[in-house]
Structure 1
Amino acid sequence: MRRLLPILLAFLLLPGSGMAAPRGVECVVPSKPGGAMDLTCKLVRSGLQLVPDHATRAVHLSYMPGGIGAVAWHSLALPGRSDGDTLVAFSGGSLLNLAQGKFGKAKPSDVRWVAALGADYGMIAVRADSPYKTLVQLMGALKRDPSKLLIGVSGTIGSQDWLKMALLVKSAGIDPKALRFVALEGGGEAFTAMQANYVQVVSGDASEAHLMAPGGSVRVLAVLSEKRLPGLLSNVPTAREQGYDVVWPIIRGVWMGPNTRPADYQRWVRAFDSMMAAPEFGRLRSEAGLYPFTLTGQALTDYVQKAVDEYSTRASQLGLMR
């Protein structure tokens, strides 16, 4: 009987046995490892430990890079797909791509928007051994010779990383079209390229810089926030402080497929409401390099639609619409 007990327990834990172990959760990262999308899913994984109904469930991260979110969107936002335990990370960049038609004919209502976990901000960084110690010095070098430096961005022309840099140089009297941009797949790849000196500047996100800063290999020249950010980047001046009136906030959160059952969708909305209301969540969010900004369910859905409309208007003004 003692020999049969382990076998019996294993059988009882099999799916369909009546005592199945809690099913795992999948969080899809629509980029390569190491960037802010990766951080979003890792925050989901650690944050769900604060929710009693989810604390024992394993959260598996799946990486689906390609097209700065386009591959994940077209793979998981399918009309016939239904999975109540798959979450997909998104950012303000995802909404910008939607606005510009970079996901084809996709529209915000094609998926179910679950939760915004926090806010991020744009930033400009160079290597720690770079001769440029301020944004003013960098802009001066680009004004003298726009082709001198390679600038790493996540995505191609019109991506949010491209737009951040384009707005900055435009305010410095430089034609963005004269710059040399290198399109990369996610912030992790951009920082890796900079460490290899393949690019000399990265236009990315504060959360990514937050991840890289402890190693001492990166110098952040400016954050694109209204005021200085607390924590690890507190000594970094804003672009505004240095004479460039550019602010770029970034929402970070998760969505689910369009055919998710209403009961499953509401279950996840409640789970994220509970998670983000927990006192410990603030610490986890800060460790991920994000700042307070929380929305769920219908409130997030309304926010996303408004943001996409605003991005569409801005992109049209810059001649970026397809």
Structure 2
Amino acid sequence: MKNTPLNRRQSLAVLGSTLALPSAVWAQPGWKPTQTINYVIGVAAGGSVDLYARGIKSGLETLNLVNGQTVVADNKPGAGGLLALQQLQRSRGNAHNLGTFHTGSLAGQVTGILKADMREYVPVAMLVEETTLVAVRTDSPFKTAKDLLAALRRDPGSVKIAVAPLKGLNTHLAIAKPLKVAGIDITKLTVVPFRSSADSMSALLGGHVDVVSATGPTVVPMAQAGKVRIIASAAAERGTGPLAGVLTWREQGVAADYVSYNGVLLPPGVDAEQIRFWEQALRQVAASKDWIALVEKSGNKPMFKGYVDSHRYLQEELKATQALVADLGLDAK
């Protein structure tokens, strides 16, 4: 299954349409939070997953969507996200617990990095469509993706490529896919994993690696500050806002793209009323001006898919990622 990304007009139309729904649709369901909500974030602070989780936390509280309760952001990095998922698993049936849902987790399951089955959890919503970017220092000899490809064709191991938090996850797949399509032997690449994309960016700026593969929240601010140059986007089409001038891989002659999504998980065992509550609350966060501004600031696309579509995506993306990993030769560990 090829996951076709929404264009900007479609994304905002979906968000805007939610505001016109009759008030009865927003009637409080039977369940609502009665205690502090723990939002476990499966990565270290910094990077897109953490940024968006904290944006969701802020939206839930400032829009008064959680019955006056507090949402606690609880970073639990480690084992490719397993520690956070284990904590969510221990909260079975308790909808006062949220977790992060990201395409990278599905990639981790397929490659064997994440020792968990994402199908056991409840993907209640997806709120961001994000693209992965390739960035270099401004003094790098790589002015375009073609320059990078030329160097890798001469010697695939000569360029240090930073990804996070581990090899085999979305930031790795998003650069490995176009490189393989371009004829590079990706088994010989020098791929260096870092604990977070913020750490990988620090390594780039410090001269310890040559290239970073990361998403907009990590890369765009550094590009706007004149510290890095973005040489390729893995999006299927040219971006807008801060990415309006960034060429996609396709625009540079490489027929490949990679799109990932970011959202929210509930623990196993939650009931329909709990799912309904969180789906409606997160729909309102996704339609808020602050949320849209946060997502667009880094060149990503605000969007919303509820439980049914998110569950379908999880099932289909697992199959698609299995095919991609097999094609790239990244065997499960």
Q: Same fold by TM (over 0.5)?
A: yes
Distance 1:33 1:135 in 2: 29
Counterpart of 2:86 in 1: which secondary structure? Answer: helix
Question: Is residue 38 from structure 1 mapped to residue 50 from structure 2 by the alignment?
Answer: yes
What CA distance in whole angstroms lies between the structure 1 residues aligned with 2:273 and 2:322? 32
Which ranges in structure 2 are unaligned for 5 or more consecutive residues? 1-32
Q: Is the counterpart of residue 225 in structure 1 residue 228 in structure 2?
A: no
Partner in structure 1 of residue 97 of structure 2: 86
SS in 2 for 1:119: strand
The answer as to 2:264 corresponding to 1:251 is no
> Which one-letter code corresponds to 1:309 in the other structure?
K
Once the two structures are TM-superposed, the CA of residue 305 in structure 1 deviates from its matched residue by: 0.8
Match of 1:98 among 87, 109, 122: 109
Asked whether the 8 Å contact 1:118–1:293 carries over to 2, the reply is yes
Q: 1:57 to 1:290 in 2, by over 3 A?
A: farther
Paired AA for residue 282 in structure 1: I
SS of 2:81's partner is helix
> In the alignment, what sits opposite 2:177?
167
| 8 Å Cα contact 1:68-1:186 kept in structure 2 | no
Please, which of 14, 17, 28 is the counterpart of residue 40 of structure 2?
28
- In the alignment, what sits opposite 1:212? 222
Q: Helix, strand or coil: the match of 1:212?
A: helix
Name the amino acid aligned to 1:87.
Answer: L
- Cα displacement (A) at 1:222: 0.7
Which residue number in structure 2 is paired with residue 6 of structure 1?
none
RMSD of aligned alpha carbons: 2.3
The answer to whether the 8 Å contact 2:128/2:300 transfers is: yes
How high is the sequence identity, in percent, across the aligned residues?
28
Helix, strand or coil at the partner of 2:302: coil
**1:125 maps to which of 97, 110, 135:** 135
| Paired AA for residue 112 in structure 2 | G
> 2 CA distance for matches of 1:45 and 1:60?
8
In the alignment, the residues of structure 2 paired with residue 60 and residue 178 of structure 1 have an alpha-carbon distance, to the nearest angstrom, of 42
Alignment of 1:1-322 (within 5 A): 23-49=35-61, 51-54=63-66, 56-78=68-90, 81-104=92-115, 106-278=116-288, 281-287=291-297, 289-319=299-329, 320-322=331-333
Matches of 2:37 and 2:135 in 1, distance apart? 34
Give structure 1 stretches of 5+ with no counterpart.
Answer: 1-20
Instruction: Mark the structure with the bigger radius of gyration.
Output: 1
Structure 1 residues 316 and 194, CA gap change in structure 2 (3 angstroms):
same
Displacement of 1:255? 0.2
Write the deviation string for residues 40-68 of structure 1: whole angstroms up to 9, x where unpaired. Answer: 21220232256343385433221111122
Which residue of the partner structure matches residue 21 of structure 2? none
Cα distance in 1 between the residues matched to 2:259 and 2:301? 10
- After superposition, the Cα gap between the structure-2 partners of 1:172 and 1:285, relative to the gap in structure 1 and judged at 3 Å, is closer
